[in-house]
Amino acid sequence: MRIPTDGKTLLRGSLIVLSALFATTALTLPARPAFALSELKKEEVEVPQKPAEGEKAAPVEEEQENAAPVELPQPDPLIRKRDSVTEPADEPAVTDDKPAEEEPQAPVEVLYDIEKAPEPVRRMRQLIVEAAASGDIERLRPLLGKGVTETQVSMVESKEGPVETLKGQSGDSDGIEVLAILLDVLATGYVHVGQGTPDEMYVWPYFTAKPLAGLTPPEKVELLRIVTAGDFADMQEFGSYNFYRVGIAPDGQWKFFVTGD
């Protein structure tokens, strides 16, 4: 018998053969149970379980526990400020003690009576006055001493003798101006300072030991017989008397005749 070979017949036969093959394969594969959507999610995601007590922790956790704590660097000293909220400033302790008051200065005793000074002091003063009044500065030379007993006539060291130094300080070449100042200074009141010490001295004028702010009008007149009003203003700004002054020790030694601070 002749088998038809048209295209439709061949296509129909191929489909029959393929259907038979799929059916045979489905019968031979093992059956797999169907899962719900929620069960599929549980199967895909695995949740780590907490280790039971007594079990050794993971090495990573041990390293984290044994790691040294991280320390932050301290701020720069320029920006370290006290936090007024978290760290209030220490309050001063409250005490009943009153601040110590400054002791008032004892009043300066101004002396005018030369008889209250020791005899050696009175004698040296008289010799100085007579020499200065003569107008001859050379008459001061034997009174000015020599070596360790030489009278200080300058605030700075000089290789010149005391008479030559005084001439250099005078407004004239003969030293007359300095002699006049010396007389004016010794004509004022004086003070006795350093009692009982190696620096005990009788000093003219008394302005050297008295605050200028406390001078009375008559005392200001006395001061202006020695200095000018401009000098007085400069002294007030400086804070003390800084013109010529004379010092004689209790034993009669002429210690100094200097000007300046």
For the stretch 60-81, pLDDT in tens is 455 555 555 555 555 544 434 4
Distances (CA, A) of 143 to 140, 150, 186: 5, 9, 15
Asked if the structure places residue 229 within a domain, the reply is: yes
For the stretch 20-64, pLDDT in tens is 555 555 445 555 555 444 454 444 545 555 555 555 555 545 555
Cα-to-chain-centroid distance, residue 123: 52
pTM: 0.60
Distances (CA, A) of 214 to 53, 107, 231: 94, 10, 17
Asked if the structure places residue 55 within a domain, the reply is: no
Query: Phi/psi zone of residue 35: left (φ > 0), alpha (ψ -120 to 50 degrees), beta?
Result: beta
Asked if the structure places residue 120 within a domain, the reply is: yes
pLDDT at 79 (0 to 100): 38
Asked if the structure places residue 88 within a domain, the reply is: no
Asked if the structure places residue 158 within a domain, the reply is: yes
Asked if the structure places residue 184 within a domain, the reply is: yes
pLDDT at 72 (0 to 100): 53
Asked if the structure places residue 242 within a domain, the reply is: yes
Domain range for 167 is 114-258
Length of the chain: 261
Low-confidence ranges of the chain (pLDDT < 50): 1-3, 26-27, 35-38, 40-43, 45, 60, 76-89, 99
**Structural domains counted in the chain:** 1
pLDDT at 108 (0 to 100): 83
Helix ranges restricted to H, 53-157: 59-66, 119-133
- The set of long-range contacts for 71-75, using a CB threshold of 8 Å and a minimum separation of 24, is none
137, 174 contact by CB (below 8 A): yes
Classify 255 as helix, strand or coil.
Answer: strand
* Residue 195: both structure tokens together: 């009692």
Asked if the structure places residue 42 within a domain, the reply is: no
Distances (CA, A) of 69 to 64, 65, 181, 225: 10, 10, 84, 84
pLDDT at 87 (0 to 100): 46
pLDDT at 107 (0 to 100): 78
